C-alpha cells in the first residue's frame, strides 16, 4: 500500500528540494565562472595571434612597398596611397618605416 505523506515528511521533502535548488545554483554559478575563465583565455590567445599575424603581414607589406613601389623622397604611406590611387595617405596607414 501507498503511504500518505504526513506533515513531517512534507517538510523534509521541501527542505531537501530547497537544498537541491541551492546546490544546483552553486554548481551553475561555478560552471559559469569556469566558462568565463575559458572564454577569457581563448579570446586573449586569439587576440595575441591576430596581433602577431597582422604585424608580420604589415612588415612584409612595408618591405615590399619600400623595395618595389617607393619613389625617391616618398614615405611608405605615401607610396601605398599613390598605388591605391589616393591623393593623401590614410590616417590609419601611417606605418612608415624610413
Is residue 75 left, alpha or beta, with left meaning phi > 0 and alpha meaning psi from -120 to 50? beta
- In percent, the amount of the chain with pLDDT more than 90 equals 54
Q: C-alpha cell of 46?
A: 586569439
Query: What is the pTM assigned to this prediction?
Result: 0.58
**Sequence ranges of the domains in the chain:** 7-93
The pLDDT tens digits of the residues spanning 68-82 come to 999 999 999 999 999
Which single residue is written with the C-alpha cell 517538510?
11
Average pLDDT, the chain: 85
Q: C-alpha cell of 84?
A: 591605391
Residue 18 half-sphere exposure toward CB, CA atoms < 13 A = 6
User: Which residue, among 61, 72, 67, 71, has the nearest Cα to 95 in the 3D structure?
Assistant: 61
Q: What backbone torsions phi and psi does residue 16 show, to the nearest 5 degrees? A: -65, -40
The pLDDT tens digits of the residues spanning 34-49 come to 999 999 999 999 999 9
Amino acid at each position: 500500500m501507498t503511504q500518505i505523506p504526513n506533515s513531517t515528511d512534507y517538510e523534509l521533502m521541501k527542505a531537501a528540494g530547497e537544498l537541491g535548488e541551492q546546490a544546483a545554483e552553486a554548481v551553475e554559478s561555478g560552471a559559469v565562472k569556469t566558462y568565463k575563465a575559458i572564454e577569457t583565455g581563448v579570446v586573449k590567445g586569439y587576440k595575441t595571434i591576430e596581433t602577431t599575424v597582422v604585424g608580420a603581414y604589415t612588415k612584409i607589406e612595408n618591405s615590399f612597398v619600400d623595395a618595389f613601389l617607393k619613389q625617391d623622397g616618398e614615405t611608405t604611406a605615401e607610396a601605398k596611397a599613390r598605388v591605391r590611387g589616393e591623393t593623401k595617405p590614410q590616417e590609419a596607414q601611417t606605418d612608415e618605416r624610413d
